[in-house]
Amino acid sequence: MPPIPDPSDDTQAGLAPAGAFSATERAAIYRVIETRRDVRDQFLADPLSDELVTRLLAAAHAAPSVGFMQPWNFILVRDQAMRQAAWEAFSKANDEAAEMFSGGERELYRSLKLEGIRKAPLSICVTCDPDRAGPVVLGRTHNPRMDVYSTVCAVQNLWLAARAEGVGVGWVSIFRDEDVRRLLGIPERVAIVAWLCLGHVDQLYSEPELAVRGWRQRLALDDLVFSECWQGD
């Protein structure tokens, strides 16, 4: 049996030198963040290679997780009939959502093209298993939602890696949980966090599509930053 590392010994604890990235590397990271978009309709039909999908999943799997519990699973959905069934579940929920708006907002909502499930060659359902690390998880003892928050970090990692690869991602959230659970055979104890549509794109909006279409505009950062205590309404 190998010796148990002494956490007070930096050489045994696996520490490595840290430092800022180069200016070029930093610029690339900020560009990826700033130009990431939620793609709804601009997908190309070209399939994603297995090597590319593996890179994206590895990026997601490298995400931080509370207690290193790594609660995520990734269900890859390529079958056209499965994606059509998912689209039908989405379409039903989308019609329900449209009725929650009124007047011009309803018309604008209905004008948004939300065809990613059928157009993108790959969908990934990202789930969260709350039992992955047992009943007591370091860091989750007083906030049980930390497993879902960790899974969202994996989604963001995948999204940013996809942007760097020229792959568009759309997050579909308009569906009834039970419809997707039944379609994919997901156990009740496992949370459905995201349905992601992935595909190559050759064009992206220069700003978030909902801002371009007049749905909402980006809030001013200065209005969202407080010092020392809550200062909002």
pLDDT tens-digit series, residues 157-210: 999 999 999 999 999 988 899 999 999 999 999 999 999 999 999 999 999 988
With respect to residue 29, please indicate whether it lies within any of the assigned structural domains.
no
Other C-beta atoms closer than 10 Å to the C-beta of 193 total 23
Q: Is residue 228 part of a domain?
A: no
Q: Is 157 inside a domain boundary?
A: yes
Higher pLDDT, 70 or 115: 70
Q: What is the pLDDT of residues 120-140, one digit of tens each?
A: 999 999 999 999 988 989 989
Say what the pLDDT of residue 99 is.
Answer: 83
In-domain check, residue 26: no
- State pLDDT tens for residues 12-38: 578 888 999 999 999 999 999 999 999
| Residue 7, pLDDT score | 58
State whether residue 185 is helix, strand or coil: coil
Q: Taking CA 40 as the corner, what is the angle to CA 39 and CA 42, rounded to the nearest 5 degrees? A: 75
From residue 179, alpha-carbon distances to 79, 87, 187, 215 in Å are: 17, 11, 12, 28
Q: For tokens 């379409």, what's the residue?
A: 91
Range of the domain at 52: 38-204
pLDDT of residue 124: 98
Residue 88 lies inside a defined structural domain of this protein = yes
Q: Does some domain include residue 216?
A: no
Which residue from 163, 64, 76 is spatially nearest to 127, judged by alpha carbons? 76
Predicted pLDDT of residue 113: 67
pLDDT at residue 112 in the model: 72
pLDDT in tens, 138-159: 989 888 899 999 999 999 999 9
Q: What is the pLDDT of residue 159?
A: 98
Give dist(CA 86, CA 75) in Å, integer. 13
Q: Could you tell me if residue 60 is left (phi over 0), alpha (psi between -120 and 50 degrees) or otherwise beta?
A: alpha
CA distances from 62 to 65, 105, 150, 190 (A): 9, 39, 11, 21
Q: What is the pLDDT of residue 93?
A: 85
CATH number at residue 83: 3.40.109.10
Helices (H), the chain: 23-35, 50-61, 80-98, 103-111, 116-119, 146-164, 177-184, 209-212
d(CA 58, CA 180): 24
In angstroms, how far is the first alpha carbon of the chain from the final one? Answer: 58
Query: What tokens were used for 192?
Result: 């459905």
User: What pTM does this model have?
Assistant: 0.90
**189 domain-assigned:** yes
Is 117 within the bounds of a domain?
yes
> Is pLDDT of 4 > 90?
no
Q: How many domains does the chain have?
A: 1
